[in-house]
């Protein structure tokens, strides 16, 4: 069964006993709200009491924006559902409540965060709330610590590995973050004028060696449950509270990837606000707070091992942040923060500075010791 606006009313009637939000005879209003590339997201509300609503996320068996000629396993939603389960258990309240998961049709029914805003939109508007960065730092730290290989017996680790063996999605990330942007690839694009910078990057052997090393870590390190797509579009914000969504890339991997993606999107915002010093300064504080909270909440009983683990996570995070920044500038998927700059010379200035900074993060990720050292380069 493929879900669309025409088939949804029937689906909801058939499934009402599992979803348990509406009665079978409730008159429903359905609208498509998603803006994503892979899936379809709907809001379903009670026509008479619109405050009673839910969100349905549906994964068609292909990449939504490309169509049926581009098949993609619907299992991605199984991983998202499992991640929601783990997050709800370990860090309750940091994700939408999950009402129902239907693996066959590939649908998650979840709490509707109706009045929340996408964090990226707040950052674009120059609204930087350091409480959000702290919450995301805490969320990552709690989940990463509790599912960390150093904190589990081998049977439990095996179980997490099996539950989060999300190879299809991991290999998409490997291509689009670590490989395609730095090769000749049809999906790459950049602002005309950035060409010399891109050519220099692609010829920089020191950079390419470090990028390859980071790709190896991404593909092989099995550390803890990693969200896998934790950028500022995967955080919804309301009343100084953050909720994490879109965990279809969740895998058992190197946790520095989550911190790196999150930071990279703050850094991209930083470069997009090039002349607004107070916004830039708040973004720097948010980046510091993310790490400080992460490190303070991180749990491994042995102090020496904990320090060593945190130091390695930090180095990985810095490298991953650099690669995420670069692929958002020259790869297939750019960010609104920068694409929205209409004045081209201004956009180019932001992109050049961000590209330079991202490159340095990758090349120096093993020697940069702390957040202060990173911020000193801005």
Ligand X SMILES: Nc1ncnc2c1ncn2[C@@H]1O[C@H](COP(=O)(O)OP(=O)(O)O)[C@@H](O)[C@H]1O
Cβ contact 207:215 at 8 Å: no
Within 229-248, which residues bind Mg ion (CB under 5 A)?
Answer: 246
By CB under 6 A, tell whether 245 contacts ligand X: yes
| 23: Cβ contacts below 8 Å, ≥ 6 apart | 16
Q: Segment near ligand X (CB under 6 A), from 28-36, 66-74, 214-222, 269-277?
A: 28-36
Q: How far is the CB of 226 from ligand X (least distance, A)?
A: 16
Of 96 and 358, nearer to ligand X (C-beta) is 96
Candidates 125-133, 243-251, 254-262, 282-290 — which segment interacts with ligand X by CB under 6 A? 243-251
Q: Does 50 bind ligand X (CB under 6 A)?
A: no
Q: Binding string to Mg ion for residues 246 to 275, with x set by CB under 5 A, is what?
A: x-----------------------------
The CB-of-64 to ligand X minimum distance in angstroms stands at 7
**Nearest residue to 324 (alpha-carbon basis) of 361, 274, 369:** 361
* Residue from 29, 31, 36, 167 binding ligand X (CB under 6 A): 36
Q: Is 100 near Mg ion (CB under 5 A)?
A: no
- CA torsion angle 120 125 131 133 (round to 10): 30
d(CA 270, CA 264): 10
Contact 249, 229 (CB under 8 A): yes
Could you say whether residue 100 binds ligand X (CB under 6 A)? no
Q: How far apart are the first and last CA of the chain?
A: 51
- Per-residue string for binding with ligand X, 196-235, x by CB under 6 A? -------------------------------------x--
Q: How far is the C-alpha of 93 from the C-alpha of 113, rounded, in Å?
A: 12
What tokens appear for 221 in the block? 């390190």
SS3 of 220-283: HCCCEEECCCCCHHHEEEECCEEEECCCCCCEEECCHHHHHHHHHHHHHHHHHCCCCHHHHHHH
Selection from ligand X, Mg ion, none that 96 binds (CB < 5 to 8 A by kind) is ligand X
d(CA 268, CA 232): 10
* Minimum distance from residue 374 beta carbon to ligand X (Å): 28
Which pair of tokens denotes residue 307? 């320090």
Binding to Mg ion (CB under 5 A) within 200-219 occurs at none
112 to 151: interface string for ligand X, x by CB under 6 A: xx----x---------------------------------
> What residue ranges bind ligand X (CB under 6 A)?
33-36, 38-39, 41, 55, 57, 96, 110-113, 118, 233, 245-246, 248
> What residue ranges bind Mg ion (CB under 5 A)?
246
């Amino acid at each position: 069964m493929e879900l669309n606006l025409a088939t949804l009313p029937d689906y909801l009637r058939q499934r009402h006993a599992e979803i348990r939000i509406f009665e079978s005879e409730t008159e429903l209003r359905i609208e498509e709200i998603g803006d994503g590339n892979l899936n379809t997201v709907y809001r379903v509300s009670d026509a008479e009491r619109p405050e009673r609503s839910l969100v349905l996320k549906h994964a068609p068996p292909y990449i939504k924006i490309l169509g049926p000629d581009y098949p993609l396993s619907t299992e991605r939603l199984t991983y998202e559902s499992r991640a929601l389960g783990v997050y709800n258990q370990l860090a309750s309240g940091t994700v939408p409540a999950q009402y129902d998961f239907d693996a066959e049709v590939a649908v998650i029914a979840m709490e509707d965060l109706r009045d929340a805003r996408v964090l990226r939109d707040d950052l674009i508007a120059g609204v930087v709330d350091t409480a959000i960065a702290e919450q995301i730092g805490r969320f990552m730290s709690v989940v990463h610590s509790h599912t960390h290989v150093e904190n589990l017996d081998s049977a439990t680790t095996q179980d997490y590995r099996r539950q989060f063996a999300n190879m299809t999605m991991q290999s998409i990330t490997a291509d689009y973050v670590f490989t395609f942007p730095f090769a000749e690839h049809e999906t790459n694009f950049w602002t005309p004028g950035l060409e010399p910078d891109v050519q220099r990057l692609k010829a920089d052997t020191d950079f390419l060696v470090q990028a390859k090393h980071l790709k190896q870590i991404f593909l092989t390190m099995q550390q803890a449950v990693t969200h896998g797509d934790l950028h500022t579009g995967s955080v919804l914000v309301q009343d100084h509270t953050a909720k994490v969504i879109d965990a279809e890339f969740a895998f058992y991997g190197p946790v520095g990837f989550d911190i790196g993606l999150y930071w990279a999107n703050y850094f991209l915002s930083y470069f997009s606000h090039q002349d607004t010093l107070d916004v830039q300064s708040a973004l720097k504080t948010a980046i510091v707070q993310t790490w400080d909270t992460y490190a303070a909440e991180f749990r491994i009983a042995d102090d020496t091992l904990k320090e060593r683990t945190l130091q390695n996570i930090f180095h990985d995070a810095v490298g991953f942040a650099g690669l995420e920044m670069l692929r958002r500038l020259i790869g297939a998927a750019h960010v609104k923060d920068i694409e929205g700059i209409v004045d081209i010379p201004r956009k180019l200035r932001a992109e050049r500075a961000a590209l330079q900074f991202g490159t340095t993060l990758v090349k120096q990720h093993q020697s940069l010791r702390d957040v202060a050292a990173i911020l000193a380069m801005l």
